[in-house]
């Protein structure tokens, strides 16, 4: 799911490297039809699905020479992931859209290689309960959560004293608050270490991405947010670490290449060889760590507060962020104004302490409406 995005294309790099081990049953994308057709021509999947239903006919026409089924729509994606021939679903769709198909894949007992952090941000309790009920493994693809997962191998989770979640600091790590008032989307998209999609790159620049990862870590590893500490680590070599009750710290290090955690999730519990870049510690020389600045990056604090309040508030946080993130990319609000929109949406949205799935859907819709209204004064 999300085959044409950054994680999707890098997943196909791994598949390409091991044609005797992996085959692609289905490719699903939002609306990048050219790339989707190119992928289908190379990997010959049984099914190709595009979320944007207006692109169904042109997609079907362009894939007429292939013996594959072509489906369209979000409901179709949620159905595709349940097909019996599928072993692993790589959940790499961007944002809230990944929630419903991930739920259906879990119910169908598929192993989930999870790159869509918003799924756990929005509905972590439901996802974890379903995974336990259906005995469905959820293997983290995010480099940070993969690092934590690897650091916990052979360890007792009850002995976790602290999770140390590293962040690159993004392109504005050394900017003053005054400088950040005038940055543009083009500035924010120049990430110093990682090649990612536009939405997640903006989230990284604002540190909302790290806030989401705090929430994701809470659900994946069963620790309270008070035990999750964010460290700014500009070199992006230590992908994250775990501190145990005896004071020992275990970390996973490597080059900043998303294909490494993707391959580990697909091959787990094995480790496969690869030709991916290696981290040269002699060339790197020094590894440094800093405290995140809550004044310049308030989104991180908003994420902690949303998790502490619980209920539907993380869902509201995510929806407001998706609206604000898009508005910033389109030049309809400033970089620092994104945090104002998110905070005010959380303040105005109705609180639901014990949300069901339908409540998450309603909360997402309402939060987007509120955030859209709050955007109006920022239009320029």
Per-residue pLDDT of the chain (380 residues), as tens digits, is: 999 999 999 999 999 999 999 999 999 999 999 999 999 999 999 999 999 999 999 999 999 999 899 999 999 999 999 999 999 999 998 778 889 999 999 999 999 999 988 899 989 999 999 999 999 999 999 999 999 999 999 999 999 999 999 999 999 999 999 999 999 999 999 887 767 788 989 999 999 999 999 999 999 999 999 999 999 999 999 999 999 999 999 999 999 999 999 999 999 999 999 999 999 999 999 999 999 999 999 999 999 999 999 999 999 999 999 999 999 999 999 999 999 999 999 999 999 999 999 999 999 999 999 999 999 776 54
What's the pLDDT at 380? Answer: 45
What's the pLDDT at 98? Answer: 87
Is there a contact between 120 and 222 (Cβ–Cβ < 8 Å)?
no
Residue 326: Cβ-neighbour burial (10 angstroms; 0-12, 13-18, 19+): middle
Which pTM was predicted? 0.92
Contacts of 80 (CB under 8 A, 6+ apart): 26, 28, 47, 49, 71, 101
What's the pLDDT at 378? Answer: 61
Same fold, 6-140 and 310-378: no
CATH number for the domain formed by residue range(s) 6-140: 3.40.50.720
**DSSP states along 269-319:** TS-----SPPP-HHHH-----B---TTT-HHHHHHHHHHHH-TTHHHHHHH
What's the pLDDT at 376? Answer: 79
Name the nearest CA neighbour of 369 among 341, 329, 328: 341
Is there a contact between 197 and 6 (Cβ–Cβ < 8 Å)?
yes
Q: What does DSSP say about strands 160-167 and 228-232: parallel, antiparallel, or unpaired? A: parallel
What's the pLDDT at 216? Answer: 95
CATH number for the domain formed by residue range(s) 310-378: 1.10.1740.10
Cα 160 to Cα 46, 157, 227, distances in angstroms: 43, 5, 8
Torsion of CA 116, 119, 120, 123, to 10 degrees: 180
Alpha carbons 155 and 157: distance in angstroms, whole number: 6
Element (H, E) at 231: strand 228-232
Torsion of CA 292, 122, 82, 33, to 10 degrees: -70
Domain ranges within the chain, ordered by starting residue: 6-140, 145-255+274-284, 310-378
What's the pLDDT at 192? Answer: 75
Tell me how far apart the terminal alpha carbons of the chain are, to the nearest angstrom.
Answer: 35
At residue 188, the 3 state secondary structure works out as helix
Is there a contact between 369 and 341 (Cβ–Cβ < 8 Å)?
no
- Residue 197: other Cβ atoms inside 10 A: 18
Is there a contact between 329 and 359 (Cβ–Cβ < 8 Å)?
no
């Amino acid at each position: 799911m999300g085959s044409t995005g950054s994680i999707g294309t890098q997943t196909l790099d791994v598949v390409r490297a091991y044609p005797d081990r992996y085959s692609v049953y289905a490719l699903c994308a939002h609306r990048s039809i050219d790339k989707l057709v190119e992928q289908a021509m190379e990997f010959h999947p049984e099914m190709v699905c595009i979320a944007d239903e207006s692109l169904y006919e042109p997609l079907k026409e362009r894939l007429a020479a292939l013996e594959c089924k072509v489906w369209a729509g979000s409901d179709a994606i949620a159905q595709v992931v349940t097909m019996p021939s599928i072993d692993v679903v790589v959940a790499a769709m961007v944002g809230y859209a990944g929630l419903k198909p991930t739920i259906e894949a879990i119910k169908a007992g598929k192993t989930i290689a999870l790159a869509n952090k918003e799924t756990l941000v929005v509905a972590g309790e439901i996802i974890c309960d379903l995974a336990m009920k259906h005995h469905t493994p959820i293997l983290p693809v995010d480099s940070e959560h993969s690092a934590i997962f690897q650091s916990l191998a052979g360890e007792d989770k009850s002995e976790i004293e602290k999770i140390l979640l590293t962040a690159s600091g993004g392109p504005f790590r050394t900017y003053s608050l005054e400088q950040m008032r005038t940055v543009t989307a083009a500035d924010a998209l120049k990430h110093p270490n990682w090649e990612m999609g536009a939405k997640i790159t903006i989230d990284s620049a604002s540190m909302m991405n790290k806030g989401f990862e705090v929430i994701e870590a809470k659900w994946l590893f069963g620790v309270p947010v008070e035990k999750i500490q964010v460290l700014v680590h500009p070199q992006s070599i230590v992908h994250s670490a775990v501190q145990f009750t005896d004071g020992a710290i275990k970390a996973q290090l490597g080059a900043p290449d998303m294909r490494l955690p993707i391959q580990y999730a697909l091959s787990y519990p094995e480790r496969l060889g690869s030709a991916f870049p290696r981290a040269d510690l002699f060339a790197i020389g020094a590894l440094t760590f800093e405290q995140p600045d809550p004044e310049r990056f308030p989104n991180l604090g908003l994420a902690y507060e949303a998790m502490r309040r619980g209920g539907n508030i993380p869902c509201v946080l995510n929806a407001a962020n998706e609206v604000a993130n898009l508005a910033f990319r389109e030049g309809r609000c400033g970089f620092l104004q994104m945090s104002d929109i998110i905070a005010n949406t959380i303040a105005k949205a109705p609180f639901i302490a014990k949300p069901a799935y339908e409540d998450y859907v309603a909360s997402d819709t309402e939060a987007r409406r509120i955030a859209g209204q709050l955007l109006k004064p920022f239009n320029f």
